[in-house]
């Protein structure tokens, strides 16, 4: 059976078109808000996120206004495509539009589509937050896969209790620093501090994932592996 989908996001950000283009169409820029480590070269976008290492083909390249890439169609029809449109406005602001489309095969597409939708909401919110607060800067991405979760309500409660908040706008403390929750939905949580963007995601196959972007500091994946394991396994 399967499911065709198309989603639209739009935001006006206080960044130049050149800064927005660098964020969406260069490896270091994508590293600073999306997930994993990324490379844009030779007509392709390559990502490494744990064992997930997809390659997309660039289908539109018109700097700094139009950038698109897609996965190509698999034998079962699966594909995903991203199209970014960038339009400068007065007073050094920029309108960014994103169209995400694709096809999920099989009769069990609904759970994957739900996870993709919630994750996509977080990623776009992170991109907008990055362009509001860190435009032009490059982050070090840290990716940690925590323990497998049986009770997600309890797992989220432990994360929320550890930082002291769960709703957008909540003031929290994380990594010894004050921050604010910039995004929250049933599968994800994003926190902004002066020096980082911290994110927690419900992994589709069961683990809690920490996917952070560190602009200053010496934090490591080992540090966050320990934090995530201790927090989620605490009684």
pLDDT at 204: 87
Look-up of token digits 């660039």: 58
Q: What SS3 class is residue 125?
A: helix
HSE-up (13 A, CA, CB side) for residue 113: 17
Interhelix angle 17-25/109-133, nearest 10 degrees: 140
Intrachain domains 3-133 and 140-233 with the same fold: yes
pLDDT at 17: 97
The CA-to-CA distance between both ends of the chain, in Å, stands at 43
HSE-up (13 A, CA, CB side) for residue 144: 20
Task: For residues 178 and 191, give the distance between their C-alpha atoms in angstroms, rounded to a whole number.
Answer: 10
- Could you please state the CATH topology (level 3) that the domain comprising 3-133 is classified under: Alpha-D-Glucose-1,6-Bisphosphate; Chain A, domain 4 (3.30.530)
Q: With contact defined as beta carbons under 8 Å apart, do 123 and 43 qualify?
A: no
pLDDT at 210: 97
Q: Report residue 21 as tokens.
A: 């283009």
* Residue 56: Cβ within 10 Å count: 20
Task: For residues 122 and 212, give the distance between their C-alpha atoms in angstroms, rounded to a whole number.
Answer: 12
Burial (0-12, 13-18, 19+ Cβ within 10 Å), 229: middle
* CATH of region 140-233, choose from 3.30.530.20, 3.40.50.980, 3.90.230.10, 3.20.20.150: 3.30.530.20
Q: Report residue 27 as tokens.
A: 């490896």
Domain boundaries, the chain: 3-133, 140-233
Q: With contact defined as beta carbons under 8 Å apart, do 88 and 105 qualify?
A: no
Element (H, E) at 129: helix 109-133
Q: With contact defined as beta carbons under 8 Å apart, do 187 and 194 qualify?
A: no
Q: Which of 68, 84, 80, 64 is CA-nearest to residue 8? A: 84
* Residue 16: Cβ within 10 Å count: 18
The residue ranges of the chain whose pLDDT is under 50 are: none
pLDDT at 152: 97
pLDDT at 10: 98
pLDDT at 47: 97
pLDDT at 58: 98
């Amino acid at each position: 059976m399967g499911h065709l989908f198309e989603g639209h996001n739009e935001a006006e950000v206080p960044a130049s078109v050149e800064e927005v283009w660098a964020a969406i169409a260069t490896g270091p820029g994508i590293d600073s808000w999306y997930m994993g480590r990324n490379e844009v070269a030779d007509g392709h976008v390559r990502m490494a996120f744990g064992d997930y290492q997809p390659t997309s083909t660039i289908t539109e390249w018109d700097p700094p206004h139009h950038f698109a890439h897609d996965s190509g169609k698999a034998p079962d029809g699966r594909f995903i495509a991203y199209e970014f449109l960038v339009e400068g406005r007065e007073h050094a602001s920029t309108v960014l539009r994103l169209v995400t489309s694709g096809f999920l095969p099989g009769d069990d597409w609904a759970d994957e589509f739900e996870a993709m939708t919630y994750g996509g909401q977080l990623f776009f919110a992170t991109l907008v937050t990055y362009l509001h607060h860190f435009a032009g800067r490059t982050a070090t991405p840290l990716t940690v896969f925590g323990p497998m979760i049986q009770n997600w309500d309890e797992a989220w409660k432990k994360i929320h209790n550890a930082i002291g908040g769960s709703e957008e706008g909540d003031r929290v403390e994380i990594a010894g620093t004050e921050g604010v929750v910039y995004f929250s939905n049933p599968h994800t949580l994003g926190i902004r501090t002066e020096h980082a963007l911290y994110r927690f995601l419900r992994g589709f196959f069961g683990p809690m994932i920490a996917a952070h972007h560190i602009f200053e500091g010496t934090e490591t994946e080992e540090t966050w592996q320990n934090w995530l394991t201790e927090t989620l396994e605490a009684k």
